[in-house]
């Protein structure tokens, strides 16, 4: 039977309005001062309908059909229904949701975009990657493009007429972009001619939109070696054609630019998204930002993509949970260990079994904890527009600190949860028609691209924490401490705040210990980073779960089962998931010697 999806609007409203009270914060930002809870709820309700009614029905068929590549014409055709769905997406004004009104956008807060993205990724990750990459190109050009580039490209991307990509990876270099070889030769007219090859370019070629705006990293002829010699260029598939310059100016697609797809990859998952090898044969491009500063400019897009990939993990966690829970309540198999619960039937529903419940609650706890975390981080991105410099600085620090955690912790959890939910289905989980095996396959890439989760862990521990002696982490720690202190004397909250305080202390001690070891050998950071990120991720989730538990305790007496379920899930999280940190801390402290002492030739 096909997968089901019910947009988690009730939980989104709980997180935004009850937990975070986002409208109070947004009201202090002039651009968002008029946004109220009803507006947010109405937008997300319509967004949920689009995802459940338009995107979900295309998910399985898109996976089975995949993309088609014509070697003779270099053309890529997306699965049936994808183009029509994208046309509906554009007609509904969805590409412009959080874009700047100066370029035709609606100017809504980023946190609405993130919530919509969760639902899109849950229902069709492969399809959603096409417009999401375009939004990334939009943000990079908005931050670093010239006025002319913004005027030329941003209205088209905002309307959805043109899509976009980020072209970084080459066959010999993935994360180590300092090794890239693509060249950019200057031309007398101020443009450049780019020559080289890129691989693993998601949505690199397709027939979804009229044009594709590629953002390409390349080297100028006199560029220094390494990452300090990388520049960023905008390289459109079709050169923009400007007519009626002036007030009535129009922009359309002109001459074909020689950036062609040489092949598409055959992958484990996300079959409906074209992962392309792109060949640049003297393609025309224009410099974005300063020469040799391209990596910094591209990081605007990359950091946004890392947050987006974390939300991919969240979306797949949610839909995997929904389908596994429905199956567990319906599937009749075996008897409860404490005696029949459905004596009138031949067997009990498998939801009576403790381990089935553990797998379901694991997915649910990671979904609801991740939703609270992701929404809070999205709110920080909206507060970057706050008139108060201190608020902006704090928000920027939290964004920097949390980006690698969102990307790595949420995608790890997404894969673990999807795999556990597949297990709930038993043999049926291995069969394509139920859809859950696709969720597992699609979830696996999220741990790899946009910087592997190990890279994210190294970024968190090495760059975001040790480089400033833990200043950013102490800011978040102060929030945790303040919440714990505020609960003193509340006996009902002890089961939540005591483990929260404990993990907070352990993170502080572990950070200091690893900082001392890092002075002895950088390998100590590499050996501990992945475990460290898991511990930090759990500390963050513990904070949000404790806050959610407090609200649930206050409101469960009203009879709404939502709060009863929230409280039960919070208790499960603290009892069954947080204890993972004991093993992670022990592993992090084990050091690098056991990893590095064996000679490479013995592997």
Local structure of 335: helix, strand or coil: coil
Q: What is the 3-state secondary structure of 269-310?
A: CCCCCCEEEEEEEEEEEEEECCCCEHHHHHHHHHHHHHHHHH
Q: What is the mean pLDDT of residues 280-288?
A: 98
Q: Map tokens 């982490």 to a residue.
A: 473
For residue 214, what are the β-bridge partners?
165, 235
So what's the pLDDT on residue 221?
96
Local structure of 188: helix, strand or coil: coil
So what's the pLDDT on residue 583?
98
- What the block records as the tokens of 350 is 């498998």
So what's the pLDDT on residue 204?
98
Q: Are strands 231-236 and 211-218 parallel, antiparallel or unpaired?
A: antiparallel
Contacts of 11 (CB under 8 A, 6+ apart): 368, 371
Q: What percent of the chain has pLDDT over 70?
A: 100
Distance CA(26)–CA(342), nearest Å, equals: 50
User: Which of 304, 152, 261, 274 has the alpha carbon at shortest distance from 202?
Assistant: 274
Distance CA(484)–CA(21), nearest Å, equals: 19
- What the block records as the tokens of 547 is 């806050």
Q: Where are the domains of the chain?
A: 454-589
Helical spans, DSSP H, in 52-109:
56-65, 82-91
pLDDT at 494 over 80: yes
Phi, psi of 494 (to 5 degrees): -60, -40
pLDDT at 246 over 80: no
So what's the pLDDT on residue 129?
97
Choose the catalytic residue: 450, 554, 597, 599.
Answer: 450
| Residues 162 and 212 sit within 8 Å (Cβ to Cβ) | yes
Question: What band does 564 get if pLDDT is binned at 50, 70 and 90?
Answer: very high
State if pTM tops 0.85.
Answer: yes
pLDDT tens digit sequence for 429-446: 999 999 999 999 999 999
pLDDT at 248 over 90: no
Question: What band does 374 get if pLDDT is binned at 50, 70 and 90?
Answer: very high
Local structure of 69: helix, strand or coil: strand
pLDDT at 48 over 90: yes
pLDDT tens digit sequence for 177-195: 888 999 999 999 999 999 9
Q: What is the mean pLDDT of residues 228-236?
A: 96
pLDDT at 392 over 90: yes
Distance CA(295)–CA(304), nearest Å, equals: 14
Question: What band does 300 get if pLDDT is binned at 50, 70 and 90?
Answer: confident
So what's the pLDDT on residue 173?
87
pLDDT tens digit sequence for 6-26: 999 999 999 999 999 999 999
So what's the pLDDT on residue 128?
98
Active site residue 450: yes
pLDDT at 1 over 80: no
For residue 252, what are the β-bridge partners?
241
Q: What is the mean pLDDT of residues 129-138?
A: 94
Please provide the DSSP assignment of 198-261 as one string.
EEEEET-S-SSSSEEEEEEEEB-TTPPSGGGGBEEEEEESEEEEEES-STT-EEEEEEEPSEEE
Distance CA(265)–CA(128), nearest Å, equals: 18
């Amino acid at each position: 039977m096909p997968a089901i999806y019910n947009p988690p609007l009730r939980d989104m409203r709980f997180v935004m309005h009850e937990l975070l009270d986002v409208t109070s914060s947004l009201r202090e930002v002039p651009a968002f001062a008029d946004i109220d809870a009803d507006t947010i709820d109405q937008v997300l309700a319509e967004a949920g309908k689009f995802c459940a009614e338009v995107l979900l029905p295309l998910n399985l068929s898109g996976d089975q059909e995949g993309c088609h590549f014509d070697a003779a014409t270099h053309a890529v055709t997306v699965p049936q229904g994808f183009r029509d769905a994208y046309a509906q997406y554009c007609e509904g004004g969805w590409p412009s949701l959080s874009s700047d009104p100066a370029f035709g956008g609606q100017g809504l807060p980023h946190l609405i975009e993130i919530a919509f993205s969760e639902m899109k990724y849950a229902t069709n990750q492969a399809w959603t990657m096409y417009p999401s990459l375009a939004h990334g190109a939009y943000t990079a050009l908005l931050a670093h493009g010239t006025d002319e580039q913004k005027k030329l490209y941003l209205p088209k991307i905002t309307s959805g007429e043109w899509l976009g990509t980020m072209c970084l990876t080459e066959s010999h270099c993935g994360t180590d972009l300092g090794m890239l070889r693509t060249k950019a030769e200057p031309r007398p007219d101020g443009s450049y001619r780019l020559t080289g090859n890129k691989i693993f370019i998601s949505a690199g070629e397709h027939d979804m939109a009229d044009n594709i705006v590629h953002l390409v990293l390349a080297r100028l002829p006199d560029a220094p070696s390494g990452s300090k010699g990388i520049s960023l260029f905008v390289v459109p598939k079709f050169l923009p054609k400007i007519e009626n310059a002036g007030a009535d100016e129009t922009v359309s697609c002109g001459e074909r630019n020689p950036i062609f797809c040489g092949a598409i990859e055959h992958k484990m998952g996300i079959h409906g998204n074209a992962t392309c090898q792109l060949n640049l044969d003297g393609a025309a491009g224009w410099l974005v930002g300063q020469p040799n500063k391209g990596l910094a400019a591209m990081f605007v897009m990359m950091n946004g993509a890392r947050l987006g990939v974390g939300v991919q993990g969240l979306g797949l966690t949610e839909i995997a949970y929904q389908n596994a829970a429905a199956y567990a309540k319906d599937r009749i198999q075996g008897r409860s260990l404490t005696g029949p619960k459905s004596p009138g039937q031949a067997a009990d529903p498998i939801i009576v079994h403790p381990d089935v419940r553990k797998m379901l609650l694991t997915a649910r706890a990671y979904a609801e904890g991740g939703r609270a975390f992701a929404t809070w981080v999205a709110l920080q991105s909206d507060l970057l527009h706050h008139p108060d410099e201190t608020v902006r600085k704090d928000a920027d620090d939290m964004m920097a600190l949390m980006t690698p955690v969102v990307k790595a912790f949420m995608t790890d959890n997404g894969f673990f949860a999807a795999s556990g939910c597949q297990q709930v289905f038993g043999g049926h989980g291995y069969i394509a028609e139920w859809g859950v095996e696709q969720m597992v396959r699609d979830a696996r890439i999220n741990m790899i691209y946009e910087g592997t989760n190990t890279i994210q862990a190294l970024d968190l521990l090495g760059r975001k924490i040790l480089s400033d002696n833990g200043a950013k982490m102490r800011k978040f720690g102060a929030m945790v401490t303040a919440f714990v202190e505020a609960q003193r004397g509340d006996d009902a909250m002890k089961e939540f705040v005591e483990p929260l305080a404990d993990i907070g202390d352990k993170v502080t001690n572990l950070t200091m210990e690893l900082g001392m070891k890092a002075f002895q050998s950088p390998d100590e950071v590499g050996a501990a980073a992945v475990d460290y990120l898991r511990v930090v991720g759990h500390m963050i989730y513990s904070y949000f779960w404790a806050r959610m538990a407090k609200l649930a305790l206050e409101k469960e007496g009203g009879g709404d089962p939502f709060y009863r379920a929230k409280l039960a899930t919070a208790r499960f999280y603290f009892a069954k998931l947080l204890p993972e940190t004991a093993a992670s801390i022990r592993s992090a402290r084990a050091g690098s010697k056991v990893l590095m002492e064996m000679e490479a030739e013995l592997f």
